A and B are shown apart, each in its own frame.
Chain A
Amino acid sequence: DARVTQTPRHKVTEMGQEVTMRCQPILGHNTVFWYRQTMMQGLELLAYFRNRAPLDDSGMPKDRFSAEMPDATLATLKIQPSEPRDSAVYFCASGDTTGGRTGELFFGEGSRLTVL
């Protein structure tokens, strides 16, 4: 059963620490998205990749956030240094747009981050 896998599921850290979240997209999917979910803002797009190339990271605070895809099976989202306002659930999602296909994104279970 193909699914998006995210680690860690939960992370509690102190302000100023580095946080790295990892995502394994569904095999064969060519697009990967990072979303952040909070009560106040809902689902916000942070960054997305197509064929491992970053297409849009305008939703991401560049001074502390970075997103990469070292290979097709791994996407990472790093926060350095973390701040309490970064506390949220971070979702990774993958999809297949080959051949101009559009449609659903498959979401992981999320990484719940708490920054104290």
Chain B
Amino acid sequence: GESVGLHLPTLSVQEGDNSIINCAYSNSASDYFIWYKQESGKGPQFIIDIRSNMDKRQGQRVTVLLNKTVKHLSLQIAATQPGDSAVYFCAKGGSTLGRLYFGRGTQLTVWP
């Protein structure tokens, strides 16, 4: 079946450092992967996605890497800021169009 798991439930970094959040998945029959950010009291918000035919994709201060060989996905945040403190979820698209499978989430805490 489909499953998505995160390596660490929590991550603490100092402001200005780079953050790396990792995710593993079990089923390779996925067209795309997505990272979401959830701030306290709010719904998850889309950050960035990557298609399965890509290895890397960059956004503003964020980079997603996809390693299909080891079924591993990572989100890198450059120059982490206090506003980046949130729970980060990785998700992957399943065989059913539009359906997403979510991992458990990593709580990122940024301290000054």
Contacts and interface: CB of A to CB of B under 8 A. Distances in A.
B is a partner of A: yes
Contact of A91 (B41, B43, B103, B104): B43
A2 to B, nearest CB: 13
Interface stretch (B10-18, B44-52, B58-66, B74-82): B44-52
Contacts, number: 54
A42 interface: yes
B89 A102 contact: no
Contacts of A91: 43-44
B97 A100 contact: yes
B86 interface: no
B97 to A, nearest CB: 5
Contact of A110 (B43, B45, B93, B98): B43
Interface in A82-100: 91, 93, 95, 97, 100
Q: Tell me the interface secondary structure of chain B in the complex.
A: loop
Given A42-B105, A43-B102, A97 B43 contact: no
B98 A50 contact: yes
Contact of B43 (A31, A95, A100, A109): A109
B34 interface: yes
Q: In which size bucket is the chain A interface?
A: 20 to 34
Interface in B2-43: 31-32, 34, 36, 41-43
Interface of B: 31-32, 34, 36, 41-46, 49, 89, 93, 96-100, 102-105
Query: 4 nearest interchain CB pairs?
Result: A107-B43, A104-B46, A97-B98, A43-B102
